[in-house]
Structure formats: structure tokens, C-alpha cells
């Protein structure tokens, strides 16, 4: 019987890389895919408000992508109001998360309800402000 090789040992304190969550098979960029995945986790409260996202380098290593891809994903999340950047500290999940994450070219969330302003007159605005004659 051939001897089997033991599994390589990781240095203490290092995390085992998770399987990549992004791939090149879809039409979305890797940054969009990563942002969508993280956005879903935020919406599902798997990433709690106030919690810190993995560092750019750590996330890149775990996902098998470049750090610039992770920066792009974090920027997309920040633009959507899901995370906030804190200088010299990292990216954190915002306390109040907005509506579901939608990628460009995908189905959009329902439109916001129309504002209920007072009815407008059919007269031109100059007539409305003039008062009685």
C-alpha cells in the first residue's frame, strides 16, 4: 500500500481559504458578483450592522481574486449605502441597510411611492401667487 501524504498544516492563526464565491461564467464582473454576495449576506443579517468586513487582502486571498477586485466590490457596497469606510480601520456594515442590492442590468426593486404633495392648479404659477384682483 502506498503511504498517503498528510494534509499540509497551516500556520497557527491562519484561516483556511474558503471556496471562491465568484466565477467568470456569469455576465457580471467579479467585483459585482462579490458585492452581490456580500450585499445578500448583509440583507440576511448574516453580517451584522457594525461588523467589520474582512480586510481587502484577506478577502482577496479567500476568494482567489485580486485586491483591486475586492476594492471594487467594497466601493459598490459603499455606493449602495450598505457599508461605510472608516479611515485606517476598514469597511463596516452600516447600522441601517437600505433596500435590496440590485446590479446594473438586473431587475430593479419596485419604485418608491409617489410623494403626496398638495394638488396643483391648472393656472400658471404667476397667477397662483398673485392673489385676488
Q: For the chain, give every domain's residue range.
A: 30-103
Angle made by CA atoms 110, 112, 115, in degrees to the nearest 5: 155
pLDDT digits (tens, 9 = 90+) for 67-86: 999 999 999 999 999 999 99
pLDDT at 94 over 70: yes
| Residue 109: per-residue pLDDT | 58
| Residue 95: per-residue pLDDT | 86
- Which residue stretches of 15-120 are H helix? 30-43, 56-63, 67-79
Select the CATH number that applies to the domain covering 30-103 from these four: 2.30.30.40, 1.10.10.10, 1.10.3720.10, 3.30.465.10.
1.10.10.10
What confidence tier does 10 reach under pLDDT thresholds 50, 70, 90? very low
pTM of the model: 0.57
Amino acid at each position: 500500500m502506498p503511504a498517503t501524504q498528510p494534509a499540509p498544516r497551516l500556520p497557527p492563526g491562519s484561516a483556511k481559504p474558503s471556496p471562491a464565491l465568484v466565477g467568470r461564467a456569469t455576465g457580471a464582473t467579479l467585483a459585482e458578483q462579490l458585492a452581490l454576495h456580500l450585499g445578500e449576506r448583509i440583507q440576511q443579517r448574516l453580517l451584522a450592522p457594525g461588523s467589520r468586513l474582512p480586510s481587502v487582502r484577506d478577502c482577496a486571498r479567500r476568494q482567489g481574486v485580486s485586491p483591486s477586485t475586492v476594492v471594487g466590490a467594497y466601493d459598490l457596497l459603499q455606493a449602495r449605502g450598505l457599508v461605510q469606510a472608516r479611515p485606517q480601520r476598514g469597511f463596516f456594515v452600516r447600522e441601517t441597510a437600505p433596500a435590496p442590492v440590485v446590479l446594473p442590468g438586473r431587475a430593479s426593486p419596485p419604485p418608491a411611492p409617489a410623494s403626496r404633495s398638495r394638488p396643483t392648479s391648472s393656472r400658471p404659477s404667476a397667477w397662483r401667487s398673485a392673489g385676488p384682483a
